[in-house]
Amino acid sequence: MMTSDDGRSARLVTIVGIGVSAVLACANVFVGWWAHSSSVVATGLEFAGDVLASGIVLAGLRAAAKPADANHPYGHGRFETIAAFLVGAVLLAGGVVIAAQSLRAIGASHDPPGASALAVLGATIVVRGVMAIVKVRAGRRMRSAALLADGWNDSVDILSALAALTAVALARANPDRFLAADHYGGFLVGVVVVITGARVLRDASFELADTMPDPALIDRVRAVASTVPGVLGTEKLFARKTGFQYHVDLHIGVDPAMTVRASHDIASDVRATLTKELPWIADVLVHVEPFVPQDLLNR
């Protein structure tokens, strides 16, 4: 479960992103139509998809911030992962449409793109760069798959805008030879969006499939648990991500002659220590076993 401060920060970043994407979408579509540039129109359509994607992220963040209840004892964090999955699907579908529309326009006769197309693309690159940095940093800090997906989407927007800028510049420099470059630029924008969507879908799918975290995180859990007095060793350790945090199942070894109450107290100390020292852990289910030295060889 995410903290209330993280939830407010994530929602604020997402809301600002929606507003920025909406402005950029309108500007690029209008200027692209006015300047006869398929690349700029494609970029604007991509940003319109970003508005939808960010809306999905916002809904996911709101749902993920709800506390655990009887029907969701592990919290509502998976809604945030589902939001990331839907963002990937939107990007994938939008990229296919953009690429197809750009290919259909190849060979059409029209005036070369106007200078305003270059100006709006340049401004787009700067604005998108700032938003990408903000979202990716916030997503990493809060371990938010949805916010990271939105941030990487903004990063890809920079690449697609650069491709469009290059295509427009070529078409303006030599319309007789490179007029079709504008349409190919729109196609490239679509391809980049498709690749990004596929990557986001892959990462979200891994989380939904309860993929284990990085080995370094697992080693950190073992190390912290081993510092608790009475813990003689750690054995099985499983972890699954539910939104912003992990739920951990841990087997610890204690003195076989110890009473049930004493071993229970050690397990409680392990749980409290892990959730305090490792804030990315939401909760820990500790299973106590009698410690035998050779158990460590079978971990």
For the chain, the three-class secondary structure string (H helix, E strand, C coil) is CCCHHHHHHHHHHHHHHHHHHHHHHHHHHHHHHHCCCHHHHHHHHHHHHHHHHHHHHHHHHHHHCCCCCCCCCCCCCHHHHHHHHHHHHHHHHHHHHHHHHHHHCCCCCCCCCCHHHHHHHHHHHHHHHHHHHHHHHHHHHHCCHHHHHHHHHHHHHHHHHHHHHHHHHHHHHCHHHHCCHHHHHHHHHHHHHHHHHHHHHHHHHHHHCCCCCCHHHHHHHHHHHHCCCCCCEEEEEEEEEECCEEEEEEEEEECCCCCHHHHHHHHHHHHHHHHHHCCCEEEEEEEEEECCHHHHHHC
Residue 195, pLDDT score: 84
With 0-12 / 13-18 / 19 or more C-beta atoms within 10 angstroms meaning exposed / middle / buried, residue 108 is: exposed
Measured CA to CA, the distance from residue 288 to residue 84 in angstroms comes to 36
Mean pLDDT over 229-243 rounds to 88
Q: How confident is the model at residue 186 (pLDDT cuts 50, 70, 90)?
A: confident
Mean pLDDT over 278-291 rounds to 90
Specify whether the CB–CB gap between 150 and 56 falls below 8 A.
no
Mean pLDDT over 241-270 rounds to 90
Q: How confident is the model at residue 40 (pLDDT cuts 50, 70, 90)?
A: confident
Tell me: pLDDT of 241 over 80: yes
More confident residue, 281 or 245: 281
Write down all domains in the chain, each with its CATH number in brackets.
Answer: 4-208 (1.20.1510.10), 215-298 (3.30.70.1350)
Residue 254, pLDDT score: 93
Residue 166, pLDDT score: 81
More confident residue, 97 or 243: 97
Q: What is the pLDDT of residues 107-147, one digit of tens each?
A: 655 666 777 888 888 888 898 888 888 888 887 777 676 67
Tell me: pLDDT of 54 over 80: no
Tell me: pLDDT of 268 over 70: yes
